[in-house]
């Protein structure tokens, strides 16, 4: 039975898209943005089933690395689902201090991007490949912001 | 049993796809200004900003190419003649296109 389910699951994986609902919190500081991505409860359960190999409901160092290697760093090809535009120019996106942990049974990714909006700028968290939905839960900013959000993504106009 | 349930949920998750959105495009040409205004309406307007567009003449020659801006309902670009067609495409996935015939 177990083998049957694995075969079915593997077969379906060839045809289907993975997807995640991610609650997002941003803190925009003068020279950086701190991002917090909290995965939904169901996907967190499934991901912990896969990556929490010692079943302690936490991600230890090795489990955290395996998780980030599978579900965060591959997003580099899609600019980590971020758009940072200063004026009309796209900024290079390089996440720093990337961490993953578990809070209230939900997986959370924390990271920082360097960004100094010296002119009107745009900050978006959006998956152009349509696999993930990002919901803006909270934003703190040292600059004036204008928010445009849907159930799937959000953009902030940042005015220094 | 718990593992079986999780496996079933995993299979269900692979089938489901919650992220869908609408795109409604309008193209108009201003003969006096020699400019084209492209409006993009969507239930997720941010998605409009992920797209670039080609304006083409009747021979399918590209007249101009531009990006649709984030956080704007429309954009205007200079164009020396009235385009016959617009191809609106995802920058990340250029094969993902919308085509608008300009009337």
Distance CA B19, CA B17 (A): 6
**Beta strands A20-28; A32-39: pairing state:** antiparallel
- Tokens representing B71 are 């956080």
Residues of A whose CB is below 8 A from B90: 128
More confident residue, A87 or A63: A63
Between chains, do A19 and B18 touch, taking CB under 8 Å as contact? Answer: yes
Whether the Cβ atoms of residue B99 and residue A114 lie closer than 8 Å to each other: no
CA-based radius of gyration for chain B: 19
Domain ranges of chain B: 22-101
Q: What ipTM did this prediction achieve? A: 0.76
pLDDT at A75 over 80: yes
| Cα separation, A12 vs A45, whole angstroms | 20
pLDDT tens readout for residues B42-56: 888 899 999 999 999
Could you say which of A16, A18, A128 has the minimum Cβ distance to residue B50?
Answer: A128
Residue A130 has pLDDT above 80, yes or no: no
Give tens-digit pLDDT for B77-94. Answer: 999 999 999 999 998 888
The share of chain B scoring above pLDDT 70, in percent, equals 82
Q: Does domain B22-101 bear CATH number 2.60.130.10?
A: no
CA distance A84 to chain B (A): 11
Portion of chain B with pLDDT greater than 90, in percent: 66
Q: How confident is residue B22, by pLDDT bands cut at 50, 70 and 90?
A: confident
**d(C-alpha A108, C-alpha A94), whole Å:** 18
What are the chain B neighbours of A6 within 8 Å (beta carbons)? 7
Taking contacts as CB-CB distances below 8 angstroms, the residues of chain B near A78 are 92
Average pLDDT for chain B: 87
CB within 8 Å: B15 and A49: no
Buried b (16+ CB within 10 A) or exposed e, A111-148: bbbebebeeebbbbbbbbbbbbbbbbeebebeeebeeb
């Amino acid at each position: 039975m177990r083998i049957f389910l694995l075969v079915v699951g593997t077969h379906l994986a060839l045809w289907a898209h993975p997807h995640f609902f991610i609650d997002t919190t941003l803190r925009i500081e003068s020279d950086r943005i701190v991002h917090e991505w909290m995965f939904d409860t169901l996907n967190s359960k499934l991901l912990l089933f896969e990556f929490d190999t010692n079943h302690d409901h936490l991600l230890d160092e090795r489990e955290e690395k395996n998780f980030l290697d599978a579900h965060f760093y591959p997003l580099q090809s899609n600019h980590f689902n971020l758009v940072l535009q200063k004026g009309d120019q796209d900024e290079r996106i390089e996440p720093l201090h990337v961490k993953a942990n578990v809070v209230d049974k939900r997986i959370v990714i924390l990271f920082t991007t360097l960004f100094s909006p010296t002119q009107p700028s745009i900050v978006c968290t959006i998956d152009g490949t349509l696999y993930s939905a990002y919901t803006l839960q909270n934003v703190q900013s040292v600059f004036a912001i204008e928010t445009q959000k849907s159930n799937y993504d959000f953009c902030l106009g940042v005015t220094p | 049993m718990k593992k079986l349930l999780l496996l079933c949920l995993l299979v269900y998750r692979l089938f489901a796809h919650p992220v869908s959105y609408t795109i409604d495009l309008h193209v108009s040409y201003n003969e006096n200004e020699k400019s084209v205004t492209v409006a993009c309406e969507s239930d997720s307007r941010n998605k409009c900003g992920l797209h670039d567009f080609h304006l083409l003449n009747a021979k399918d020659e590209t007249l101009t190419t531009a990006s649709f801006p984030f956080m704007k309902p429309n954009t205007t670009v200079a164009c020396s003649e009235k385009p016959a067609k617009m191809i609106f495409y995802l920058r990340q996935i250029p094969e993902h296109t919308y085509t608008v015939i300009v009337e």
